[in-house]
Amino acid sequence: MRRTGPRLPGLLPVFLATVLAATACTSAGDEPAAPKSRPATTPTGKPDRQHPVAAFLQPGREAVMMTDAAGRIWKAADLPPSTATSSFDTERLPSELLWSPDAGRLAWIDPGGVGQTGQIHLLDVRSGQLASRPCPCAGLGFLGEDAVSLANDGRSLLLFPPSGKARRIALDKRLPPYSQLATGGADDVTLFSLLPEGEDIHRGEGTLVVADREGKVRPLLPDKGTTSFAEAHRQPGGEAVTWADLESSGACWSVQTVQTHPGTPGMGARKRLPDDAAFRHALVEQPRMVTHLAWAGDGLTLTYSALSTCQVMAPERTASYHLRDGRWTYLGGGMLGIAFGAEGRVVRLKDPVYPKGDIADTADPTTGTLTLSTDGRELVLGKGVSLFALTPAESAAARPPRSAAAQPAAGVAAVDDHGARLPAAMRQLARDIANAAARGDSDRLVDLCDPCSAGEHDWIRSDDGPRHVLRAIRTHPMRQPGGDLLYPGLTTCVDEPGKDISCTPQHLHDAAALRLKPGLAPGMEYGGSSYTASDAVSVPLTLHLEKGTARWTGLAAG
């Protein structure tokens, strides 16, 4: 899993000039297994340092941590200080942690943009020794047990064997500037080769090629096959490759989608998106980010998210899935990532805390609480975690989930459009209205709408009346002066934090439930998409509370 901070790590420097992304959320949602877990207890005994199952990064501790299968953790390494300042620098946080195939070494490099001053860091897991050295690295992976990167000049692979001297493998075809190593493999590596902009090539687009230990470069995608690129992973023990692409129309308008390729040169990639209520409620059709991507046996786990420094965040703005053979299984919302391991182990990064400030002035990463579910218990491994990675053996032994998390359900809201609890009498009346509308019971709706005019009763009895009533009453209401409730409370809002008409999480929930299409910002001072409820609810409803009694008093002007 890559770092989930406000900046896209490991991207092309030229692309970073126009692409800046944020990924986060606010709290955990539904997840398989976790709600049924027994109360967590602290594991006893010494950690099994020779057999870790996962590594994770805690920026606040300036440390790389590890855990064994029982959830016993230890500090594996301190993050090295900056060579320029001799102190820790959040700008140099790793964007990912990579295991060697046998989990004997853990590697990371300084993030993109550091260039010639960057370093590669190699941790010997068995001895605990950390070796750091300057490296003109572009991307990182493992070629067999050798750590490997692409030299910044695109002429060679840089190999760092477990023992012995680093060496170069000259490529028989030089890659263009800003190319990078995408992911490793047993006998070859996958490289992202940037293509020059042209009539059919947009900025940041390239192709994927494969290079072996002899330096022979061959295309992976079909002729003229192109893709953008953010991160990639090779299936443990297999040939298949998965990656998150990156299309952008500006800093807050990037779109990432997961693609998969069987690993056979010349074959095409498959690009998929979920089509369920959870994905629709996340409102991530555009823009969106992939905050987590990992193999789970012969399937994948992945998380789609809105952009936290550009959009209003809520648990529903992220959606995690398992994908196998084209089948999507929803795993829950409110997480930065989820990964499956051996013997039913599940690792979750949830309860996100994202940095404050806009995309131009924040360098802090998004962090969350990392948990391990094992033997029916959910253990907290650490808080303030920015990324994690399971060992290849752990990921390879993962099995598909037995069940899916519950999808967002339609129903009457218990809070208003700003999250304040509604009076019990109002909630009960709203439920009565919703139940009658769902049955198409116009007579009951007319009885409930009292006092209402004859014209209002005629509208309720119309063919589409109950359907329109149901759509309105299932939204979050606005509190009117005097205490009346107006359904829906959403008029027009912008999906951008810190504005006078910023959407609330409740507005966004209703926008998704009403299937509203994002519109243009209502003015030059706004940068986000807008949502307008009148596109779906032409006649709002008014409820009134007097001396503890709730009444549906009529229809508001459309």
Q: What is the pLDDT of residues 191-238, one digit of tens each?
A: 999 998 887 888 889 999 999 999 999 999 998 889 999 999 999 999
Q: Is there a contact between 476 and 507 (Cβ–Cβ < 8 Å)?
A: yes
Please say if the pLDDT value at position 14 is more than 80. Answer: no
Average pLDDT over residues 263-292: 93
Across the chain, what does the average pLDDT equal?
89
**Residue 325's CB: how many other CB atoms inside 10 A?**
7
CA distance 403 to 176: 46
Please say if the pLDDT value at position 76 is more than 50. Answer: yes
CA distance 541 to 488: 7
CA distance 292 to 311: 19
Average pLDDT over residues 19-36: 38
Q: Note if the bond before 488 is cis, omega within 30 degrees.
A: yes
Please say if the pLDDT value at position 360 is more than 60. Answer: no
Output the pLDDT for position 40.
57
Percent pLDDT > 70 in the chain is 88
Pairwise pLDDT comparison (458 vs 535), residue with the higher score? 458
Report pLDDT digits (tens) over 375-410.
899 999 999 999 999 999 999 999 999 999 999 988
Output the pLDDT for position 457.
95
Please say if the pLDDT value at position 537 is more than 60. Answer: yes
Q: Does domain 13-396 have CATH number 2.120.10.30?
A: no
Pairwise pLDDT comparison (5 vs 48), residue with the higher score? 48
Output the pLDDT for position 2.
64
DSSP string, 497-537: TTSTTBPPHHHHHHHHHTTPPPB--SSTT--S-EEEGGGT-
Average pLDDT over residues 468-481: 96
CA distance 261 to 227: 12
Q: Name the nearest CA neighbour of 74 among 44, 49, 92.
A: 49
Q: Name the nearest CA neighbour of 432 among 442, 423, 413, 445.
A: 445
Output the pLDDT for position 423.
96
Q: Which residues contact 164 (CB under 8 A, 6 or more apart)?
A: none
Please say if the pLDDT value at position 188 is more than 60. Answer: yes
Output the pLDDT for position 10.
39
Report pLDDT digits (tens) over 412-446.
999 999 999 999 999 999 999 999 999 999 999 99
Pairwise pLDDT comparison (89 vs 193), residue with the higher score? 193
Instruction: State the pLDDT confidence band at 248, using cuts at 50, 70 and 90.
Output: confident
Lowest mean pLDDT among 37-46, 321-330, 525-534: 37-46
Start-to-end C-alpha separation, the chain: 48
Please say if the pLDDT value at position 25 is more than 70. Answer: no
Average pLDDT over residues 107-123: 76
Instruction: State the pLDDT confidence band at 110, using cuts at 50, 70 and 90.
Output: confident
Output the pLDDT for position 141.
98
CATH code 2.130.10.150 region(s) in the chain: 13-396
Please say if the pLDDT value at position 366 is more than 50. Answer: yes
Please say if the pLDDT value at position 8 is more than 80. Answer: no
Output the pLDDT for position 522.
85
Q: Is there a contact between 252 and 308 (Cβ–Cβ < 8 Å)?
A: no
Tell me the β-bridge partners of 318.
305
Residue 418 one-letter amino acid: H
